[in-house]
Amino acid sequence: MTDRIDVANTKRWVVKIGSALLTDNGRGLNHNALMNWAEQIATLREQGLEIVLVSSGSVAEGMNRLGWSVRPHSLHELQAAAAVGQMGLIQAYESCFKQHKLHSAQVLLSHDDLSNRNRYLNARSTLKTLLELGTIPIVNENDTVATEEIRFGDNDTLAAMVANLIEADLLVILTDQDGLYDCDPRGGTNACLIKQASANDQKLETYAGGAASDISRGGMLTKVLAAQKASRSGTHTIIANGQLDQVLLKLSQGEDIGTQLLAEKPVLTARKRWIANQLRVNGILQLDTGAEKIITTGGKSLLAVGITKVTGSFKRGDAVSCHSADGKEIARGLVNYAADECRKLAGKASDQIEATLGYVDEQEIIHRDNLIVM
């Protein structure tokens, strides 16, 4: 294992604050808590750090304003609550940061904004410009327009993708637990806090459980998966207890708090990070063992001859998942042929493409420049 995160030499942070730390047990916003977060972030700005805040709380605030005591399951009701609550959330943040002479900026993102290459680059440029201007971008999912198919699902995932987007040095995920344990600490067992691990250690997923409350969507598993995503841009992650007094300032001073998940894999290029983080995969290509070996260890393109099965409906340029014979995702990429064409080409050599389809666009099903190993 490498050394611990050198927090003192980080410059750009993405800080995700969960609903439990922003609301009064789900009964609307806790304005004293928001004042405290704004004060800590203002101090970090004075220290020269750039901060992007990914904030939950809009649905809980909307529920409070609408008089709802139980989080709805209907997507449209959730969207309505988010629309109502987002007004209060941003107003509260603006008021808090204004007291520290800081401008804040609302940034609402949907998965469509990041799956489209041009919109992805535009979002990246906007966030970087806001940081250069000294503002505090406050990011949330655009719940009001997002459909179930294009939702991030939780703000942990959104925070990781924002970290990739702006190439952050550190992702801080604040929760109501001290960090990641090797078993559920709420179960009365002798749970042990994991102080440090590789973000890509597969054992971490077995340690994580589900969401802790009806107010929040994400559980510890989403935080572990977020750390994996963030690591693709070289971003380290710290999962810490946001109820700890002055937790952000203590982290900035290098105090040993929470769980550190280190990014140890080689950093993907910006384009490959974009491909890897497309959550909306439109199909699956199942591969034989030869193709699996070639793309995972040989760094080669995927050819039709190595495909054994095609699942889903997709068109040229869509993101598809490549699975091993035992069903495990091993890679992801942008496909050169539509699903029906891939079914016709599966198992055939590249020199048979024209005879099979009547034309040939590319020799590869997925070119290695558009293929990333997961």
Residues 167-186 as b/e (b if ≥16 CB within 10 A, e otherwise) read ebbbbbbbbebbbbbeebbe
Q: How far apart are CA 91 and CA 319, in angstroms?
A: 38
Backbone angles phi and psi of 108, in degrees to 5: -105, 125
- CATH of residue 289's domain is 2.30.130.10
Q: Are residues 81 and 70 in contact, defined by beta-carbon separation less than 8 angstroms?
A: no
pLDDT at position 149 is 42
Do residues 234 and 295 both lie within one domain?
no
- Bridge partner residues of 283 (DSSP): 312
Do residues 183 and 122 both lie within one domain?
yes
Query: Of the candidates 202, 237, 272, which is a domain's last residue?
Result: 272
Amino acid identity of 21?
L
End-to-end CA distance of the chain: 21
Residue 134 domain flag = yes
Q: Are residues 82 and 59 in contact, defined by beta-carbon separation less than 8 angstroms?
A: yes
Sequence-distant (≥ 6) Cβ neighbours of residue 11 within 8 angstroms:
48, 49, 50, 169
Beta-strand pair 104-109/12-17? unpaired
Do residues 22 and 118 both lie within one domain?
yes
Amino acid identity of 287?
L
Residue 1 domain flag = no
Do residues 310 and 355 both lie within one domain?
yes
Q: How far apart are CA 255 and CA 21, in angstroms?
A: 21
pLDDT at position 358 is 93
Do residues 290 and 262 both lie within one domain?
no
Beta-strand pair 196-198/136-141? unpaired
Angle (CA) 151 281 198, round 5°? 80
Do residues 297 and 257 both lie within one domain?
no
Distances, alpha carbon 281 to alpha carbons 97, 224, 313, 315, in Å? 39, 21, 10, 11
Do residues 212 and 164 both lie within one domain?
yes
Our measurement of the distance from residue 197's CA atom to the centroid of its chain's CA atoms, rounded to an integer in Å, reads 19
- The total number of structural domains in the chain stands at 2
pLDDT at position 209 is 61
Whole-model pTM?
0.82
- CATH of residue 208's domain is 3.40.1160.10
Beta-strand pair 307-312/371-373? unpaired
Residue 182 domain flag = yes
Query: Of the candidates 272, 289, 305, which is a domain's last residue?
Result: 272
pLDDT at position 215 is 42
Do residues 262 and 357 both lie within one domain?
no
Query: Of the candidates 206, 239, 272, which is a domain's last residue?
Result: 272
Per residue of the chain (374 residues), give pLDDT as tens. Answer: 457 888 888 999 999 998 889 988 767 899 999 999 999 999 999 999 999 999 988 888 888 899 998 888 888 888 888 889 999 999 999 999 999 999 999 999 887 788 788 888 899 999 999 999 999 999 988 766 655 543 555 789 899 999 999 999 999 999 988 999 887 776 666 889 999 999 988 888 888 764 444 444 458 888 999 999 999 889 999 999 999 999 999 999 999 999 999 998 777 787 888 887 765 788 999 999 999 999 988 889 999 999 999 999 999 988 999 999 999 999 999 999 999 999 999 999 999 999 999 999 899 999 998 998 87
Q: How far apart are CA 242 and CA 54, in angstroms?
A: 14
Q: Are residues 180 and 259 in contact, defined by beta-carbon separation less than 8 angstroms?
A: yes
CA atoms within 13 A on the CB side of 303: 17
Residue 194 domain flag = yes
Nearest one of 94, 92, 110, 91 to 102, comparing CA atoms: 94
pLDDT at position 236 is 95
Q: How far apart are CA 153 and CA 202, in angstroms?
A: 21
Q: How far apart are CA 63 and CA 82, in angstroms?
A: 8
pLDDT at position 216 is 44
140: its two tokens: 């949330």
Q: How far apart are CA 49 and CA 158, in angstroms?
A: 21
Domain that holds residue 205: 7-272
Do residues 303 and 333 both lie within one domain?
yes
pLDDT at position 212 is 44
Residue 259 domain flag = yes
Residue 2 domain flag = no
Nearest one of 145, 62, 139, 144 to 105, comparing CA atoms: 139
Do residues 292 and 226 both lie within one domain?
no
Do residues 233 and 351 both lie within one domain?
no
Residue 357 domain flag = yes
Do residues 259 and 286 both lie within one domain?
no
3-state helix, strand, coil in the chain (%, to 5): 40, 20, 40
